[in-house]
Each structure stands twice: as C-alpha cells, then as structure tokens.
C-alpha cells in the first residue's frame, strides 16, 4: 500500500539529548514536510524539502535539523537547542495538485 510512515509512534527524550524522528514515503512524491502541533492548536511548518539534497526552513526551524539524502526519506532531528520540544510531529508529502498527505505522527515528550 502507498503511504507515509513515521516512527516511532511515541518518543521520550531527556534534557540535552538529540533525537531523530523518521519519515518515509512510497508515494513517489518529490516534496516532503515536517509540522509541529501543540495541544489544541493547528500545525506549524518546521522544514520542507522540494527535492533530494535540498531543504528550506519553515516558520519554526530553530532547534531542528533535517536531511534529504533519498527521495523516500526525510528525517527530522530535534536538537538540545529546541527549548520546548514536547509536541506532536507530523510528516507530509505533496501530491497533485498541491495536496499534502500526512503520516500518523510521532508524539515526543521531554522527561
């Protein structure tokens, strides 16, 4: 089945640790996105990538990093510089026309 997978579903991080969230898609989409959702709020764009080896900052990129070495994969690293990382993280890829399809999400909690 075609779709977007994210892992892990739940992630716990200690203060000062970097953690990496996985996002994989087999939809053959070029563009991929990372969003953050805080309780009771809409989504905010962290980073996006339109093609392999290229990515752009979104509205809240500070404390996050990404890579795009393969078309299918767009991992997000939450660094220790992100002061309030506890949130729900959603990955998406863009199909035609301009429609973003989302993965199941990763819930990150800082202990």
Partner 1 sequence: AQKVTQAQTEISVVEKEDVTLDCVYETRDTTYYLFWYKQPPSGELVFLIRRNSFDEQNEISGRYSWNFQKSTSSFNFTITASQVVDSAVYFCALIKAAGNKLTFGGGTRVLVKP
Binding stretches for partner 1 (CB under 8 A): 31, 33, 35, 40-43, 45, 48, 50, 56, 58-59, 88, 90, 92, 94, 97-105, 107
Q: Do 94 and 33 form a contact (C-beta atoms < 8 A)?
A: yes
Query: Residue 37 CB, nearest distance to partner 1 (Å)?
Result: 8
CB of 16 to partner 1, least distance (A): 27
d(CA 111, CA 101): 30
Beta carbon nearer to partner 1, 45 or 80: 45
User: CA 102 to CA 11: how far, in whole Å?
Assistant: 19
Cα 61 to Cα 48: distance, rounded to the nearest angstrom: 10
Q: How far is the CB of 69 from partner 1 (least distance, A)?
A: 20
Identity of the residue, 18 or 62, whose beta carbon is nearer to partner 1 in the bound complex: 62
Which is nearer to partner 1, 15 or 53 (by Cβ)?
A: 53
Contact yes or no for 91/102 (Cβ under 8 A): yes
């Amino acid at each position: 089945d075609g779709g977007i997978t994210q892992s892990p579903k739940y992630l716990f991080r200690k203060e000062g640790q970097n953690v990496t969230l996985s996002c994989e898609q087999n939809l053959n989409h070029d563009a991929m996105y990372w969003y953050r959702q805080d309780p009771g709020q809409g989504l905010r764009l962290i980073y996006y990538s339109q093609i392999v080896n290229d990515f752009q900052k979104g509205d809240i990129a500070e404390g996050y990093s990404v890579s795009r070495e393969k078309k299918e994969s767009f991992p997000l690293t939450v660094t220790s510089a992100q002061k309030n990382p506890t949130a729900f993280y959603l990955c998406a890829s863009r199909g035609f026309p301009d429609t973003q399809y989302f993965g199941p999400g990763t819930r990150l909690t800082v202990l």
